[in-house]
Amino acid sequence: MMNRPSSSRIAHHVTTSGKTMDPRRKTVIAAVLSINSNNLEELLSSEDSSEEDVIGTELLFGKRKKRRVCIFKYFEETIPRFQEDVFRTHFRLSRQAVQVVVNALGNKIINLGPGQRAIDPTKQLLMVLSLLSSTETYRSVAYRFDVAESTLWYCFKRVVCALSSLAEDFIVWPKGEAAEIIVASFKEINGFPGVLGVIGGSDIPIKAPHEEPESYINRKQFHSIRLQAVCDNKLMFTDCFVGCPGSMHDATVFGKSELSEKLLDPNFLPENYHILGDAAYPISSQIISPFRDNGHLSARQQKFNSKLSSCRVKIKKAFALLKGRFSRLKMLDMGVVSLMSSAIMACCILHNICLLYNDEPEEETTMLIEGGEETSHSKSNECQDQEERVVEQTGKREHLLGIVCG
């Protein structure tokens, strides 16, 4: 903190320089002499200081007080005036969906720490949605909502961790009638029976983490975290697993996920159901993947692969929609891996909520969906040959080949 001149020093300056001092400066100094040091400190630090006060302190001490730039009452007055389509453009969710999320979070995002001023839960959520749905800096979002950058950071951490804890409520494995509807919808696409979902993986780019950064470098030579997900016919995620380093193969990620064990339970996945994956996933009665194209596939096998691929495109579109809605997933610039994982899971939950409330994506996002994205790693021929010999003992894929291709 800079040293303030005493009243005696200011008086001496006035008496010795009065003949040459600018009249305006002399008037301000004379006014300062009439207040004590405590009032002077309050004048310099008060948020309510007028422009004349600021000019006075600038003349005295040669430094103008720094002010933050913000939109006046952006949350209280500006956002309520947004039309519904403008609101969705800014926050990617409708007002109805935002209220659902706030109600689901309940007291989890109410900050009641010592000395803290409570921030409206809706305001916290909208600030976090502003960050997740764009690549804006924390500074610009903080200024717009008139909060400190540190406050925004703690709000972000609080909200994404609370959201990720709601995974079991919004990312639900289909059972009963819901499962039957999904199976029927996939069968309508190209006659593929028993499909309960499609599995895939995606790289989420991240800043190099502090610990073991080399393990997060993926095959495309950038740092990432792997997101494994299963989606249904409507692009809704029914299972998500996130947190493995980008260098890890999809088959290894799958083996580490709880899903690999759950699929073996007939109550979780009935014997006449299965999910579809690409060649990166282990072939089994639970996961059906395409025949390896070694240049000697029969016409029926090629047709089978084509029809499987037309179903599997759903997970590509789901990932494209997720990243289109929440642009922050194009680069997570955080240093803590656990927080990155929470942010990714939070986006997956918000993705499902958008679909539940029919929030249509933006036009540019729709273009990304049509293009899809590459989701998985390739697999060595030797590994796949071995797995194909195992799966053919069950005969399930051959059975499906006969149904789908005649």
Residue 193, CA distances (Å) to 153, 338, 377, 400 in order: 47, 38, 26, 8
Looking at the DSSP bridge assignments, the partners of residue 9 are none
Between 292 and 177, the higher pLDDT residue: 177
Reported confidence tier of residue 78, pLDDT bands at 50, 70, 90: very high
- What local confidence, expressed as pLDDT, does residue 23 receive? 64
d(CA 195, CA 308): 10
Reported confidence tier of residue 24, pLDDT bands at 50, 70, 90: low
Reported confidence tier of residue 167, pLDDT bands at 50, 70, 90: very high
- What local confidence, expressed as pLDDT, does residue 50 receive? 44
Residue 362, CA distances (Å) to 92, 187, 348 in order: 9, 29, 17
- What local confidence, expressed as pLDDT, does residue 296 receive? 85
Percent of the chain, pLDDT > 70?
A: 73
Q: Mean pLDDT over all residues of the chain? A: 82
**Average confidence (pLDDT) over 280-302:** 89
Reported confidence tier of residue 380, pLDDT bands at 50, 70, 90: very low
Residue 60 has pLDDT above 60, yes or no: no
Structure-block tokens of residue 322:
């997720």
Q: Which of 34-38, 101-105, 111-115, 395-399 has the highest mean pLDDT?
A: 101-105
Residue 336 has pLDDT above 50, yes or no: yes
Reported confidence tier of residue 139, pLDDT bands at 50, 70, 90: very high
Residue 70 has pLDDT above 80, yes or no: no
Closest CA to 166 of 243, 108, 85: 108
The answer to whether 22 and 58 are in contact (CB under 8 A) is no
Question: Which range is least confidently modeled, 145-149, 290-294, 312-316?
Answer: 290-294
Residue 219 has pLDDT above 70, yes or no: yes
- What local confidence, expressed as pLDDT, does residue 223 receive? 95
pTM of structure: 0.78
- What local confidence, expressed as pLDDT, does residue 40 receive? 45
- What local confidence, expressed as pLDDT, does residue 80 receive? 95
Residue 321 has pLDDT above 50, yes or no: yes
> pLDDT tens digits, residue range 181-197?
999 999 999 889 999 99
- What local confidence, expressed as pLDDT, does residue 46 receive? 46
- What local confidence, expressed as pLDDT, does residue 311 receive? 93
The answer to whether 331 and 344 are in contact (CB under 8 A) is no
Residue 289 has pLDDT above 70, yes or no: yes
The answer to whether 57 and 64 are in contact (CB under 8 A) is yes
Residue 371 has pLDDT above 80, yes or no: no
Closest CA to 14 of 29, 4, 28: 29
- What local confidence, expressed as pLDDT, does residue 292 receive? 86
Between 236 and 367, the higher pLDDT residue: 236
Between 256 and 10, the higher pLDDT residue: 256
Q: Which amino acid is at 362?
A: E
Reported confidence tier of residue 345, pLDDT bands at 50, 70, 90: very high
Question: Which range is least confidently modeled, 221-225, 374-378, 383-387?
Answer: 383-387
- What local confidence, expressed as pLDDT, does residue 294 receive? 81
